[in-house]
Amino acid sequence: MPIRQKMYALFVLSVINFTHIVDSMIIMPLGDTFIHEFDITTFQYSFLVSSYAIAAAIASLVGIFFIDRYDRKKVLLFCYVGFGIGTLICAYSPGYYLLTTARFFTGLFGGLIGAIVLSIVSDLFTFQERGKAMGFLYAAFSAASAFGVPIGIYLAAKSNWQLPFLVIGGLALLISILIYFTFPNLTAHLSKIPQKVSFSSLTNILVDKNQVNALLAGFVLVMAHFMIIPFISPFMIKNIGFSPEQISLQFMLGGIATMITSPFIGKMTDKIGFMKVFVTVMTLSFIPTIIITNLQPVPVGIALIFTTLFFVFGSGRMISPNAIITASAPTSTRGSFMALKSSLQQLAIAFTGIISGNIIAIGADGKYEKYAYVGALSVILGIVTFYFIAKLKVAEGN
């Protein structure tokens, strides 16, 4: 495929990631709004966050048996249209239980988006090119933080919490039309898989120690990353004194910073090796994690320094390991591997939401307590990832 067409596909995938990430992230800065408007506990809120991830895990598990058997474009389009419709349903959900159900429905489609996007990137770019491609792809996370989430918070503040979901859902359906007419068909992988549906793809993954270690690495990596995320914004509002506008600034500064650093980390991954970059960035990420979860009332400017550092190193520690994780599976089972990886990682997000929701409590003064325990657990999990990432090898065909 010509390089121009590859870069166009990467751009479209980044736009898809942008809307997908804004949708998944917007729940968190609005957490304090949901807790008070629906009069729910921290555990109920964490279940609202986790409902999407639970559904996504189920969908990704089912996807193992069909994701490699169709044109990548068709799978992407099917998932993205369903995601857009589900997000629109969220916008018209009037209460906690209906919204939780709508988030679950959205997750059934959105759960496979990450898997199919990574599969397409892995198909289009060689392992030597993948760090840079991953950096570009993860820059969409930064853009979502810098622009998408602040705009969503602004819309919610000026109107209601439903409006951001309405905008995201509408954009997803418009982008789906663009995909249908302009995105390239991707069928090269079809010649390398058996014609009949069977458990062979799953079996081939589970008997390969390298792929199993890659799955475990991804699972623990996501748990370490998401452990403190659901309660960052509620904590900053109640314990530090942030206003909704300052929460927007938190995401904007963090997003702009990672837009600059993510491509650089991707390039360094290709240049000096994924393990050196990963160990460095993961270790640095422990500093803002511990500071944020133990933070006492400080000037907003000081708090924003630490949240920005968390965005930079939190996002950065996902780039280099994903370059090797995606290269741990051969082409013939890559889509199935990515689907299983996505399923496990969505389960990790669900687990972290439920775990943190059970640890954190709201005190009599309305402030969040025991957040420091969640931060310590995040660091421990981050240390565990060193073991799994160090064991990974590049599979044939990469």
Complete DSSP assignment for 259-306: HHHHHHHHHHHHHH-HHHHHHHHHHHHHHHHHHHHTPPS--HHHHHHH
For the chain, list residues with pLDDT below 50: 197
Question: What whole-number distance in Å separates Cα of residue 20 and Cα of residue 149?
Answer: 11
pLDDT in tens, 320-338: 888 788 788 887 677 678 7
At 369 the pLDDT is 93
Question: What whole-number distance in Å separates Cα of residue 112 and Cα of residue 53?
Answer: 11
Q: Say if CB 291 and CB 305 are below 8 A apart.
A: no
CATH architecture label of 3-390: Up-down Bundle (1.20)
Distance of CA 194 to the CA centre of its chain: 31
At 291 the pLDDT is 96
Q: Say if CB 293 and CB 375 are below 8 A apart.
A: yes
Question: What whole-number distance in Å separates Cα of residue 162 and Cα of residue 152?
Answer: 10
Domain boundaries in the chain?
Answer: 3-390
At 321 the pLDDT is 86
Q: Say if CB 363 and CB 227 are below 8 A apart.
A: no
Tell me, what DSSP letter sits at residue 362?
A: E
Question: What whole-number distance in Å separates Cα of residue 242 and Cα of residue 286?
Answer: 23
Which pTM was predicted? 0.74
The tokens for 360 are 């954190």
The tokens for 211 are 């792929």
At 90 the pLDDT is 93
At 292 the pLDDT is 96
Q: Which residue has the tokens 């090898």?
A: 393
At 318 the pLDDT is 86
At 397 the pLDDT is 59
At 267 the pLDDT is 83
pLDDT in tens, 169-218: 999 999 999 999 998 887 776 666 555 545 666 777 888 898 899 999 99
At 88 the pLDDT is 95
